[in-house]
Amino acid sequence: MNNKLTLNQIKEGLEHYVGHRVRLRANKSRKRVVVKEGVIEGIYPSIFVIKVEEENRNPRKLSFCYSDLLTHNVELTLCESDESIVYG
């Protein structure tokens, strides 16, 4: 059995979570980790978009590619259930 997921399978799996609130943990550089909460706003052929609203700031949209999930540079956790969305 092949346990490896293709980027297309990751995209299809992530489509079920559009509109859900998630906690995002992204490794930006060597020792810099960003943790934010937002809503998965859109799924596109090469990227997915998360809308982040922070206090005292305008809403921002962050985009990531599906390979970021596969390589664990980005980790998503559902806020409602604390369930990790894991790929790879």
Instruction: Decide if 70 is inside a domain.
Output: yes
| Alpha-carbon dihedral sign for residues 10, 11, 17, 20 | positive
| HSE-up of residue 40 (Cα within 13 Å, Cβ side) | 23
Domain count, the chain: 1
**Owning domain of residue 72:** 7-85
Is 43 strand, coil or helix? strand
68, pLDDT greater than 50: yes
Using the predicted structure, report yes or no on whether residue 78 has a pLDDT greater than 60.
yes
pLDDT over threshold 70, residue 76? yes
Any domain includes 65: yes
Residue 74 sits in a domain whose CATH number is 2.30.30.100
Q: Which residue has the higher pLDDT, 85 or 78?
A: 78
Does residue 1 lie in a domain region?
no
Q: Is the pLDDT of residue 75 over 50?
A: yes
Residues 31-64: tens digit of each pLDDT:
899 999 999 999 999 999 999 988 888 999 999 9
CA distance 33 to 40: 19
**The predicted structure's pLDDT at residue 38:** 95
Buried b / exposed e over 16-47, threshold 16 CB at 10 Å, is: ebeeeebebbbeeeeeeeeeeebbbbebeeee
Q: Quote the pTM value.
A: 0.84
